[in-house]
């Protein structure tokens, strides 16, 4: 028994595999939630963008080819971040693919960054939405999306002919948004 005036020494904190696992799971959950929900409340829409160099984006594509953002210099590029489990992403894919078909003679290219998804689910989505020829870079852990500052899916970035991000849309793009934000870059 401890007498009322006696101080107990605190037990030292034990760090072991269980604590490391708990911290790792907590950090992973926070990252996953960050990719699914906007960082700030408010309406989804166009974020103010100061033109800045686009982060590196390269690697093997879903169809076994290669993509490198550096090779896209001289083109206006739409970088669309999507997932097969995202309903709004599914809805906007046909518009994006159609826009690339119509505007590719003026220098538009479309590349999609697929976040936290399985290959078969993505292929099924592309088939279902008529986007079979879409250049898709898989991002199973979401690390590339984090490099680009993605807050939620879908999110679309406009990269100018000099490789700078000049606009972005958080949420679904519309034909009107594409006409207002992308078409002027193709005219010049």
- The β-bridge partners of 167 are 158
Q: Check residue 49 and give its pLDDT.
A: 81
User: Does residue 149 register a pLDDT over 80?
Assistant: yes
Arithmetic mean of pLDDT, 128-139 = 96
Q: Check residue 36 and give its pLDDT.
A: 41
Q: Check residue 111 and give its pLDDT.
A: 98
pLDDT top residue among 13 and 64: 64
Q: What percent of the chain has pLDDT over 70?
A: 74
- The β-bridge partners of 165 are 52, 159
Residue holding tokens 């100018």?
160
Whole-number average pLDDT of the chain? 84
User: Does residue 46 register a pLDDT over 70?
Assistant: no
Arithmetic mean of pLDDT, 64-71 = 96
| Nearest to 110, CA basis, from 145, 81, 89 | 81
Q: Check residue 6 and give its pLDDT.
A: 57
pLDDT top residue among 125 and 28: 125
CA dist 68 and 55 (Å) reads 11
User: Does residue 10 register a pLDDT over 60?
Assistant: no
């Amino acid at each position: 028994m401890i007498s009322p005036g006696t101080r107990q020494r605190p037990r030292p904190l034990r760090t072991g595999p269980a604590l490391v696992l708990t911290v790792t799971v907590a950090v992973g959950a926070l990252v996953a939630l960050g990719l699914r929900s906007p960082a700030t409340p408010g309406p989804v829409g166009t974020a103010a963008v100061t033109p800045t160099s686009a982060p590196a984006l390269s690697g093997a594509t879903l169809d076994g080819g290669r993509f490198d953002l550096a090779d896209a210099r001289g083109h206006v590029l739409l970088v669309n971040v999507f997932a097969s489990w995202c309903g709004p992403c599914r809805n906007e894919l046909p518009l994006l693919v159609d826009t690339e078909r119509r505007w590719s003679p003026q220098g538009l290219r479309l590349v999609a960054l697929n976040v936290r998804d399985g290959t078969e689910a993505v292929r099924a989505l592309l088939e279902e939405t008529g986007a079979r020829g879409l250049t898709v870079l898989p991002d199973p852990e979401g690390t590339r999306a984090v490099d680009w500052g993605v807050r939620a899916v879908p999110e679309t970035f406009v990269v100018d002919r000099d490789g700078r991000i000049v606009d972005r849309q958080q949420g679904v793009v519309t034909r009107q948004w594409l006409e207002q934000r992308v078409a002027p870059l193709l005219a010049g």
